[in-house]
Each structure stands twice: as structure tokens, then as C-alpha cells.
Amino acid sequence: QVQLQESGPGLVKPSDTLSLTCAVSGYSVNSRVWWGWIRQPPGKGLEWIGYLFYTGSFYYSPSLESRLTMSLDTAKNQISLKLRSVTAVDTAVYYCARIRVPEAAFDYWGPGMLVTVAS
């Protein structure tokens, strides 16, 4: 079955770069779906970060796009997220998700990873 698993440092210093990967098993990242990163600050709702199509097309959240890079690694079957110049407001649980076309349903999610920005 399809499984997603986020990984990366759980603690990042202010002004550093937050780097996460999402390993996908049971499905090829090079298939006709979107892949998304979504985050959830403690006690708050879901916030979309960006969406990446298997062709390389993407949408980035306007509030994050100047600091954000998402990419697909077909050799490792994973997607990655880099968020530069982080501050405390970037502290959140970060989720990756598969998004079906055309209905844009987020049908598989990783368990999430808490990333804390602190010195």
C-alpha cells in the first residue's frame, strides 16, 4: 500500500534552512499525481506550503514562496522541502501528502514531523 514518511532535523536554528524529505513507498513519485507539503502550527489549523506535480510544475504559498524550494527525486522516490531563513513562526508539524487528480483529494498522508525553530 502507499506509505509516506517525513524525515529531517526536529530542531532548526533561527535564520537556518529547514530541510525535510518525504519517502514514498508503494507508489512512484513519477506517476500522474500531485505531491503536497502542509504544515500545522501547534494548536492551529492546516496551512498549505506547496504542491508539486510529477512533471515539475508547482504552486507555492505566496507567503512562503520567496523562501521555499520543493523538488522530486525519482531515483530515491521521495520529495523534498527546503525553507530558508526560518523563524519561530515556522515551528509546526510538517506533513507530506499525495494529491489525486483531477479532484485534488489528499488521499495519503505521512504521519507528520514536528519541527521546532529555536536557538
Partner 1 sequence: QSALTQPASVSGSPGQSITISCTGTSSDIGHYNYVSWYQQHPGKAPKLIIYEVSNRPSGVSSRFSGFKSGHTASLTISGLQPEDEADYYCSSYTSSTTLAVLGGGTKLTVL
Residues contributing to the site for partner 1 (CB under 8 A): 34, 36, 38, 45-48, 51, 59, 61-62, 95, 99-100, 102-107, 109-112
Q: How far is the CB of 67 from partner 1 (least distance, A)?
A: 17
3-state secondary structure the chain: CCEEEEECCCEECCCCCEEEEEEEECCCCCCCCEEEEEEECCCCCCEEEEEEECCCCEEECCCCHHHEEEEEECCCCEEEEEECCCCHHHCEEEEEEEECCCCCCEEEECCCEEEEECC
Nearer to partner 1 by C-beta: 102 or 119? 102
Nearer to partner 1, 1 or 119 (CB): 1
Q: Minimum CB separation from partner 1 for residue 53, in Å?
A: 8
User: Cβ 4 to partner 1, closest distance in Å?
Assistant: 9
Considering the complex, state which of residue 75 and residue 103 has its C-beta at the smaller distance from partner 1: 103
Residue 76 or residue 100: which is nearer to partner 1 going by CB?
100
